[in-house]
Every structure is written in C-alpha cells, then in structure tokens.
Amino acid sequence: MAVDAFRKYLDMYGMQEAHALLAKVVEIATRHITDMDILARFSADEFILCLSGAKGAEATAKLEKIR
C-alpha cells in the first residue's frame, strides 16, 4: 500500500503532520485486519500488508475498506 502524494503532503505541512498522517493510515488499516494479518512500514510512504488466509474477493474487500 502506498500513501499517494505523501511527499507533497510532507512538503506542505511538515514532518510532524506527515507522521500524524501515517499514524492515521495505520489506525484505519488496523481496524480492518485481523490479529493474524501483518502490517509493516516498508518505506517513507509505503506499507506491506499480509492478509493471512485472505483470498481473491475477501482480500480485495479488505483493501477497499482501508482505501
């Protein structure tokens, strides 16, 4: 998962607000995943989400809720 326009947001609002935005992304994502799923930050604006046991439509539905 990538946070679109993160660099632009960072430039406009600064590091503190950019970190708050990333924290909000994590908060939203964790509301829609299980304890068996893994969410990890990969880079400045990207996350890896491993949906344990989710296949096809179920995985797509979870990702849509997060988006």
Q: How confident is the model at residue 4, as a pLDDT?
A: 92
pLDDT of residue 36: 94
pLDDT of residue 2: 92
Model pLDDT for residues 14-58, shown as the tens digit of each residue: 999 999 999 999 999 999 999 999 999 999 999 999 999 888 999
In 1-67, which ranges are E strands? 38-41, 47-50
Residue 11: per-residue pLDDT = 97
Per the CB < 8 A criterion, the answer to whether 63 and 54 are in contact is: no
Amino acid identity at 25: V
